[in-house]
Amino acid sequence: MSRKAATSPSIGDRRAERGAATTELVVATPLLLLLVLLVVQFALWEHAIHIADAAAQEGARAARLEGGTAADGAERAREFLAQLSPTILVHPQVTARRTADTAQVEITGQVMAVLPGMRLPVRATSQGVVEVFRPPAHTP
């Protein structure tokens, strides 16, 4: 008995494997597509976080200005979101606060769902010191 004959599959073995490649393809393709959609979903989530962070910073800048208000900061953040992300960040909520010393803008929402049922939250906060003009101190 030769070595080649011992390792080659018999005709009966080849018939048993018929259709195995098709079955593997039917099982592997949906899993591969799910993995690709998960990568896209998490990439959108990261992008939405960056957008929310940038909008919060813009709002905080507007609220920090001398003569600025919390409403100015919230309005600037909403404008920024409307221009930059009308569809990626779903149901954004903008909250702005200003005290005598600090201004803060917080943005919350959810990322657009690529996969049904995936509701990934987005939250960004930016805070800064309020700008106040202080005349130079006179020293005699």
| Confidence band, pLDDT 50/70/90 cuts, at residue 133 | confident
In a domain, 107, yes or no: yes
pLDDT of residue 52: 96
Which has the higher per-residue pLDDT, 135 or 122?
122
pLDDT on residue 91 = 92
Note whether residue 139 is domain-resident: no
Which pLDDT belongs to residue 16? 63
Does a structural domain hold residue 76?
yes
CATH of the domain at 110: 3.10.450
Structure tokens at 11: 């005709």
What integer pLDDT is reported at residue 13 of this predicted model?
63
Give me the domain span that covers residue 50.
19-129
Residue 3 confidence (pLDDT) above 80: no
Residue 2 in any domain: the answer is: no
Domains held by the chain: number: 1
**The predicted structure's pLDDT at residue 22:** 78
Strands (DSSP E) contained in the chain are 89-98, 102-111, 121-129
Residues 85 and 107 sit within 8 Å (Cβ to Cβ): no
Q: Is residue 135 part of a domain?
A: no
In this structure, is residue 8 part of a structural domain?
A: no
How big is the CA angle at 48 (ends 42 and 49), to the nearest 5 degrees? 90
- pLDDT interval class at 11 (50, 70, 90): low
Residues in the chain: 140
How many Cα atoms are found within 13 Å in the side-chain-facing hemisphere of 109?
A: 30
Mean pLDDT value across residues 22-39: 88
Instruction: Give the closest residue to 119 by CA, choosing from 41, 22, 5.
Output: 41
